[in-house]
Structures are given as C-alpha cells and as structure tokens.
Amino acid sequence: MPITLATTTPGEAEIFASLQGEGPSIGRPSTFVRLSRCNLACAWCDTAYTWRFDGDNRPHRDGVTFEREANQVTMDEVGVAQAIAALAPDRLVITGGEPLLQGPALARMLAALDAVRSGMHVEIETNGTVAPHHTLDARVNQYNVSPKLAHSGNPAELALVPGRLAAWADEPRAFFKFVIADPADVAEVMALKDTYGIAGERLFLMPEGRSSAVLRERSGWLADTCAANGLRFTDRLHIHLWGDTRGT
C-alpha cells in the first residue's frame, strides 16, 4: 500500500535531512518525512499545502488553496524506506499533516527501513487525536504530541479528545507541545495540564509564528511564563535558520 506524502516541488516527496527545529530533540540532526492529509484544520497552519487542496473550504487565515497533484505524491513503502536510508541522520522524524492517519503503512515502511538500516530513532509528530496503530507503536521511540487549542479554529470536540489526551498523558514516550499566540492560550494549557496530570517536564510551550520577528516578539514573555510555571520552552529553530520554507 502506498504512503501519501507532501512535496517540496511537484513530484518530489518531502523527505530531507535537517535539524529538528522544535521540542525535546531541538538541534539534533534528523531525517524528515512529511506526510500529506490531516483530520484537523488549524487557521495558522504553516503546512496547509498538506491538506488544504482546491475545493477544501476549511478556514485558513491565508485563504489559499493548493493544487493536489502538485502538492501530494504517493510512494511505495520500500521506496520511502530507501530514501530515508540514503540520508545521513540516524534520527527519523515523521511529520505531516497527521501521520497517524497512515499508521499501518508507516509500520510496514519502518519494517522495510530496519531491513536496510537498523537502529534509527523514530519520532512521530501528531496532533494527538488519533490512536497509533499497534504495529506502528511498537517501533516508535518518541511521540511529539501537539494538541490544538481554541485559537487554532478547530472545534474542541475534534481537537481535544479526552480519551486520547488521557492516553498520551500516561504514555512515557510522549512529550506535549502547545502552540501559543497570546497569554489566554497559556491558561488553556494549564487547565489541560491539571485535568490530565501532565508533568511540566514533558510539556513545552512554543510561540506561534512563521517569521523570526514574530517568534522573538512572543518568546520573551512566553519564556518567562515557562520559568514561572515549571514548563519547558521551545523555539522554532528552523524558522530562524531557513525561514518558512519546505524541505527545512
């Protein structure tokens, strides 16, 4: 079964080597695989080309839609594994879109990867609404869970699923990363932290922004907030280094 991926340019799958720009692995050399398709629609999403195709009327602040054929490509599982194995980093970050929508295919891809290059550390970035398929879960070292707050524009009943949040809070491989635009967002995070018993050591706050200027503007007060509440702060390193561009 093929895997559906995003593209860097038409026809070229978004599989690349870079530095992890966010969360607990920030700064680490990593191989990235960006998948296409998402079950949510964040108004500020910086990878809307993975889901907001022509005819998709879900809201986004840019108001732009993308032609599916140019922005989505399928590859067989072995082909994806070979492309990953050809890159140097030994840490694999599977992102999206929402990767867990393609759980069984990813499990088969990782089995194919292990056959040609064993021992890669596997991280999956997820919005936290989808349970990992059991065959995939057995191969994952780390989950970067980013639940979407009210300012994302998603209805809470879709974005904040109680059973899933409780399961992630109980999963020692899971780290939480919340996108923050203003102080009201922090209050929402603290309520979720208390409700689900999320340890501050596993909870990151990250400024929302697609430019260094916006990130710097929000980082000062957000870092102070993290220090005051025993939470962890994460920047968006890739934005500072390469801007808001694909394949970085």
Residue 48 lies in a domain: yes
User: How does residue 58 score in pLDDT terms, banded at 50, 70 and 90?
Assistant: very high
C-beta of residue 26 within 8 angstroms of C-beta of residue 236 = no
Query: Could you tell me if residue 58 is inside a domain?
Result: yes
Which tokens sit at 148? 């979407």
User: What is the predicted pLDDT for the residue at 222?
Assistant: 98
**Tens digits of residue pLDDT in 170-185:** 999 999 999 999 999 9
Residue 25 lies in a domain: yes
Taking only the tens place, the pLDDT of each residue in 11-36 is 999 999 999 999 999 999 999 999 99
pLDDT mean across residues, the chain: 98
Could you report the per-residue pLDDT of 197-245, keeping only the tens digit for each?
999 999 999 999 999 999 999 999 999 999 999 999 999 999 999 999 9
Confidence (pLDDT) at 50: 98
Residue 1 has pLDDT above 80, yes or no: no
Q: What is the pLDDT of residues 116-172, one digit of tens each?
A: 999 999 999 999 999 999 999 999 999 999 999 999 999 999 999 999 999 999 999
Supply the Cα-derived Rg of the chain in whole angstroms: 17
* Range(s) of the domain holding residue 150: 3-181
CA distance 12 to 10: 6
Number of domains in the chain: 1
pLDDT band for position 77 (cuts 50, 70, 90): very high
| Residue 220 within a domain | no
Could you tell me the CATH number of the domain that includes residue 69? 3.20.20.70
| 248 in any annotated domain | no
Tell me, yes or no, whether 230 lies in a domain. Answer: no
Residues in the chain: 248
Strand pairing partners for 73? 5
Residue 221 domain flag: no
187: number of Cβ within 10 Å: 10
Residue at 211 is within a domain: no
Alpha carbon separation from 148 to 28, 102, 145 (Å, rounded): 25, 20, 10
